[in-house]
Amino acid sequence: MLPPFRSAIFFKSVAALEQAPASAAEIAFAGRSNTGKSSAINALTGRRLAQVSKTPGRTRLINYYALGEERFLVDLPGYGYSKVPAAIRAPWEALLGGYLRGRTPLRGLAIVMDVRHPLTMLDRHMLEWFRPTGRPVHVLLTKADKLSREAGRTVLRRVASELAALAGNASVQLFSSLKNTGVDEAAGVFEAWLARSSPGPLEAPGEPEVKTPGKTGGLEIKAPGLKGEISPGQNALRFKAPRSGRRSGRRPKPSDV
Ligand code: GDP
């Protein structure tokens, strides 16, 4: 089967938001380092594009892959490098935070998590940090081939249930770059985001109301409580958080990422 985003080509690396290209719509990929983000982008595009981002000096830049017609997949710097000195981390975090909160063409955020270690503290901070934008999140639980089918589905249900409390509008699926599972399903979500008419400027940080834009497919689970079922052949769950729920706890700062 042909990879869904096979027209993608490396476009540019960006060290400051002002350098970002003119864009009509883009999907960003974030995740802890080593969770399989590069492999997921490569599986979606059928190319070894994301190797580019691993070349020295580019790991802390935002990498743009062009899909044509001013549409892009955007590879964000991996987070969770505890040993990176603060002097290097600060501009990188500013870039990441500025991008996530300020990039108008951003249609949604894919967060890549290792299915064996989902929803780490940093992932939770990322979700909370992104939530006020009102843009959708799609979680790829990568390396699903490392778990049995049943164990994978158990994790999927647990993550879906927890996400309901953490994100305003999110979906989650199992993914394996190694076995090429979940690729079409993920592409379906991202293509729907890209095809949607412009959602307008990002919401101001601190907006109390979380918007839940239209459906992107998959099964829907109404939070709280897990009421959906995974139908045969489905790797995805989708849920919506209640619109009026108050967020608890402090708001994470980009420096937590
Ligand atoms: P990144 O740092 O998040 O970009 O992660 P990479 O894509 O470089 O992957 C990190 C490691 O996980 C590499 O050794 C990959 O071969 C491995 N990996 C990535 N995706 C998968 C997957 O779906 N299944 C398995 N078994 N290994 C994977």
Q: What is the pLDDT along the chain (257 residues), one digit of tens a residue?
A: 677 798 999 999 998 899 999 999 999 999 998 899 999 999 999 988 877 556 555 567 899 999 988 999 999 988 876 666 676 677 777 888 889 989 999 999 999 999 999 999 989 989 988 998 999 999 999 999 999 999 999 999 999 999 998 888 999 999 999 999 999 999 999 999 999 877 766 755 443 332 323 332 222 222 332 233 333 334 444 433 434 444 444 444 444 44
The answer to whether the beta carbons of residues 126 and 164 sit under 8 Å apart is: no
What pLDDT is recorded for position 96?
85
> Does residue 37's CB lie within 6 angstroms of at least one atom of ligand 1?
yes
The amino acid occupying position 57 is: G
Residues 6+ apart with CB under 8 A from 92: 60, 77, 84
Give the DSSP per-residue string, 111-159.
EEEETTS-S-HHHHHHHHHHGGG---EEEEEE-GGGS-HHHHHHHHHHH
Phi, psi values for residue 244, rounded to 5°: -100, 5
Termini Cα distance of the chain:
36
The tokens describing 111, both together, are: 């967060």
Could you give the CA distance from residue 246 to residue 224 in angstroms, rounded to a whole number?
13
Kindly give the interhelix angle for 121-130 and 86-102, rounded to the nearest 10 degrees: 40
What pLDDT is recorded for position 73?
97
> Does residue 146's CB lie within 6 angstroms of at least one atom of ligand 1?
yes
Question: CA 219 → CA 65, 174, 228, distances in Å?
Answer: 29, 13, 7
Q: How far is the CA of 82 from the centre of ligand 1 (A)?
A: 19
Q: Is residue 102 part of a domain?
A: yes
Helix, strand or coil for residue 73?
A: strand
Probe ligand 1: pick from 29, 35, 39, max atoms within 8 Å of CB? Answer: 39
The amino acid occupying position 175 is: F
Query: Domain total for the chain?
Result: 1
What pLDDT is recorded for position 249?
44
The answer to whether the beta carbons of residues 170 and 137 sit under 8 Å apart is: yes
Residue nearest to atom 24 of ligand 1 (CA): 143
Instruction: CATH number of the domain at 108, please.
Output: 3.40.50.300
What pLDDT is recorded for position 196?
85
The tokens describing 224, both together, are: 């709280």
Q: How far is the CA of 9 from the centre of ligand 1 (A)?
A: 21
Query: Could you tell me the residue range of the domain that residue 105 belongs to?
Result: 9-256
What pLDDT is recorded for position 64?
96
> Does residue 78's CB lie within 6 angstroms of at least one atom of ligand 1?
yes
Q: Is residue 53 part of a domain?
A: yes
Q: Is residue 238 part of a domain?
A: yes
Q: Is residue 92 part of a domain?
A: yes
> Does residue 31's CB lie within 6 angstroms of at least one atom of ligand 1?
yes
Could you give the CA distance from residue 135 to residue 170 in angstroms, rounded to a whole number?
9
Q: Is residue 35 part of a domain?
A: yes
Could you give the CA distance from residue 24 to residue 20 in angstroms, rounded to a whole number?
12
Q: Is residue 144 part of a domain?
A: yes
Q: Is residue 1 part of a domain?
A: no
Residue nearest to atom 20 of ligand 1 (CA): 36
Residues 6+ apart with CB under 8 A from 162: 119
pTM of the complete model: 0.80
Residue nearest to atom 21 of ligand 1 (CA): 143
What pLDDT is recorded for position 109?
97
> Does residue 77's CB lie within 6 angstroms of at least one atom of ligand 1?
no
